[in-house]
Structure 1
C-alpha cells in the first residue's frame, strides 16, 4: 500500500506544480498496509482448511474460496481501512464513520471487480506458500 501511495504521489508531483510529497499520508498508508498485511496471512490458511480441494485445484472449491473473500474480507478490511486511516488523519470517529458511509459502496463495488479475478488466479495457479506474495503484488496495483 505504501509503494502504491508513493507511485501516486510521484504522479501527482509531476502533474501539479508546487505539489510536494506528503510524508504523513505515506506513513498513514504504510501503517494501514502493515495492519492489513498481518490480517491477510491467516485467512488463506483458514480457507485451505475449511475448503480443502479434493483434487489439486478443484474449480468448485476455488470458486467458493473466491466468493468468501469479497463477502468477508472486503467488508471487514474496508471498514478497518476507513476508520483506521481516518483516525491516523486526525478525524473524529463520527467524521470517519461519515466517510465510511459516503465511500464504502463505491469501494466495495470496485473491490468486487478487482479481487475475484485476482483470487481466481491465486487459488488456481499459485502455490499456497506464495499466495500472500502474489496478493501483495496485486495490492500494489490496487493501491496505486
Structure 2
C-alpha cells in the first residue's frame, strides 16, 4: 500500500472508532437494534467488534514509522497481533460464553468474568505491547 492509501485508511479507521466510542458512551439506541431484522445480533456488538479489529491495525500503522531493534519490535507485534486475533474472534467468543448474540449473561458469573477480561484485554494488549517495546528499547538499541 502506498502512503496516501495508508493515511486514508488510518483516518477512516479513527473516524469509525470515534463514532463507535461516542455511540457506546452516549448509549445510542442504534446499539440495541438488530443487524438483521428479526435477528438477535445487535449493532452495538458488531460495531464493537469492528472497533476491536481496527484499533490494533492503527497501532501497526503508527509503529511502522520508526526504527527499533528487532526484539522489542517483535514483542510489540506479538501483542498487537494477539489483540487483532482477539478482536476478530470477539463475536464468536461472546456467543460461546453467553449463549446469545447480545452478550447478556444470566447467572453465569464465571463466564461473564471471563468475557469481561477478554473484552478488556483486547484493546489493552496494543498499549501493553507498546510500553513493553519502549522499556525493552532501553536494553536493545537499533542497529
TM-score category by the smaller chain? 0.3 to 0.5
Greater fraction helix: 1
What is the TM-score with the length of structure 1 in the denominator?
0.33
What is the TM-score with the length of structure 2 in the denominator?
0.33
